[in-house]
Amino acid sequence: MSTILIIEDEARIAEFIAKGLKSAGFTTHATSSGIEGAALATHGNFDLVILDVGLPDIDGFQVLEQVRGQGVKVPVIMLTARSSVTDTVAGLQGGADDYMAKPFSFEELLARVQLRLRAEQASGAAENGVVLRHGGLTLDLRTRRAEVDGRSIDLSAREFTLAETFLRNPGQVLSREQLLSNVWGYDFEPGSNVVDVYVRYLRRKLGSERFETVRGMGYRLV
């Protein structure tokens, strides 16, 4: 049974969606807060998220940004105002999988939800948030296995955590200090080159072109 998170501050609409989904056999959880919704969507192990744009604290785009920023791939259907094409475009660019313009019929929404869940199963990505992917590189956080273009690669625990840090922040420059505190968790003496050494290990195992040196700043997963 699929569990669906509803992030919507209008109680009437949230209830309307929850009631319909329950009678269609889904389990639902609703919140009216964007901040709480972002945390739930990131850590709550939901199969799908229905996300309203207009929320009282942070808006739906910010929720989406936080969730995708954590590398969480859970499918998101955004609820937008029918008049706002900008909202729709922004939502899809921000990583929403689909959108529904308000007002909508429940049948319409249910069809989108079912379509999205089927697509998700078909792509084998039902392990939302557990598998990180970027440019042919895959990390399964549950089995602690790494793959490059479908080929399994052995990584030590430290290497895995370092690779995970890069995959959670693709395209971002990560400083040696950030990597040290995230992967090693305590301060090394100044001048320690442990990060450089481990980046070299990752380059050797996962492909040297992936980990770019940004002079004077750190490293970036490209």
Task: Return residues touching Ca ion (CB under 5 A).
Answer: 9, 52, 54
CB of 42 to Ca ion, least distance (A): 20
CB of 102 to Ca ion, least distance (A): 9
Choose between 20 and 54: whose C-beta lies nearer to Ca ion.
Answer: 54
CB of 79 to Ca ion, least distance (A): 8
Residue of 55, 64, 73 whose CA lies nearest to 139:
73
Which structure tokens are listed for 16? 């309307």
* Pairwise CA distance, residues 137 & 134, whole Å: 5
Whole-Å CA distances, 63 to 80, 139, 141:
14, 24, 23
Choose between 59 and 147: whose C-beta lies nearer to Ca ion.
Answer: 59
DSSP state of 189: P
Widest CA span in the chain = 61
CB of 51 to Ca ion, least distance (A): 10
Choose between 54 and 207: whose C-beta lies nearer to Ca ion.
Answer: 54
Choose between 44 and 54: whose C-beta lies nearer to Ca ion.
Answer: 54
CB of 8 to Ca ion, least distance (A): 6
Q: Coil, strand or helix: which one is 78? A: strand
* Pairwise CA distance, residues 73 & 42, whole Å: 9
* Pairwise CA distance, residues 204 & 22, whole Å: 50
* Pairwise CA distance, residues 218 & 174, whole Å: 5
Q: Are 129 and 164 in contact (CB under 8 A)?
A: no
Which structure tokens are listed for 52? 């309203």
Residue nearest to Ca ion (CB): 54
Choose between 52 and 164: whose C-beta lies nearer to Ca ion.
Answer: 52
CB of 10 to Ca ion, least distance (A): 5
Choose between 10 and 147: whose C-beta lies nearer to Ca ion.
Answer: 10
